[in-house]
Amino acid sequence: MNALGLHARSAVRIARVAQGARATVRVAHGNLEADATSVIDILTLACAVGETLEFTIADPEDYDILKALVNLVNDGFGEPQ
């Protein structure tokens, strides 16, 4: 959804949202998985334009965080398309 793929600015935005969670939030790309609160971990996923991210939450109470992450990605991280 983002013309630049997953890069530092988008990773920071993911981490900021995930840091509001009560429990663990993970993000995966292919067979790689990362702590969604860590910018460095997120960047190791090396997700290019058009590839898919998968978010998981450990606590159902964090559904609002999951929803916010999905919205963030679907909005192209707020960057120009």
Find where tokens 């058009």 sit. 50
Domains defined for the chain, CATH in brackets = 8-74 (3.30.1340.10)
Q: What per-residue confidence (pLDDT) applies to 78?
A: 73
Task: Give 14-26 pLDDT, tens digit per residue.
Answer: 999 999 999 999 9
Paired with 56 in beta bridges are: 26
Asked if residue 25 lies in contact with residue 65, where contact means CB atoms within 8 angstroms, the answer is: yes
Question: Quick one: DSSP state of residue 47?
Answer: P
Strand partners, 50: none
Single pTM value for the model: 0.89
- Please state, in angstroms and rounded to a whole number, the distance separating the CA atoms of residues 65 and 78: 17
Antiparallel, parallel or unpaired: β 32-35 and 54-57: unpaired
User: Which residues are known catalytic residues?
Assistant: 7
Confidence band for 80, pLDDT divided at 50, 70 and 90 = low
